[in-house]
Amino acid sequence: MKRLSIILVCFATMAFTSCGIFGSASSSNTAAQTMGQTCGSAILGLYNSYKATGSVSLTYGNNLTNALALATCYTQIKANASNSSYRNAFATGLVMSSAGLITNQNSNAFINALLMCSGLANVSSSNSTQQNQQATTTATTTLFQAVNKK
């Protein structure tokens, strides 16, 4: 009976150790995936606003929050543009949180379009609404076109 207990403890220890190794390997891109989820949620919010009102007005608090989040995501993906592992994890997050707006098929096109939206680097909570509106309108036009291409 004592041997059985020792063997079970050894197996349990090995199981926890191996799970820890696999867990750390699979979570190495957690930050990229989280940033992708933030981006997917932001673009979905802006897209829904556009569909409902015909524009993306930053006078609405949610739209401003989403534009600022999109600007942060732009900065992060731009800094990691050549890192394929980061891009893949970012794309996974996009697909997870965009409620079907961004799919596995158009996620790469969306990321490439996002990388072209250099005006997002100028979106800031310290800017005037007009400055942010101009940068966001240009960016969302580009991004909406990327997700609507079939």
Question: What's the whole-model pTM score?
Answer: 0.78
- CA pair distance 139, 71, nearest whole angstrom: 10
89 lies in a domain? yes
Which of 13, 18, 11 is CA-nearest to residue 3?
11
- Would the pLDDT of 89 be above 50? yes
What is the number of domains present in the chain?
1
pLDDT given for residue 149 in this prediction: 64
Domain assignment of residue 25, yes or no? no
Q: Is residue 43 part of a domain?
A: yes
Give the domain range for residue 98: 30-148
In a domain, 54, yes or no: yes
Whether residue 97 is contained in a domain is answered as yes
- Residue bearing the bigger pLDDT, 125 or 103: 103
* pLDDT over 50 (residue 15): no
Q: How confident is the prediction for the chain on average, in pLDDT?
A: 84
Supply the Cα-derived Rg of the chain in whole angstroms.
Answer: 21
4 within some domain? no
Tell me the mean pLDDT in the region 27-34.
Answer: 82
Least confident range from 18-22, 112-116, 127-131, 133-137: namely 18-22
User: Quick check: is 86 in a domain?
Assistant: yes
* Tens digit of each residue's pLDDT (9 = 90 or more) over 41-76: 999 999 999 999 999 999 988 999 999 999 999 999
Q: For helices 61-79 and 129-148, give the axis angle rounded to 10 degrees.
A: 70
Residue 10 falls inside a structural domain: no
> DSSP string covering 24-72, please?
HHHTTTHHHHHHHHHHHHHHHHHHHHHHHHSS--TTSHHHHHHHHHHHH
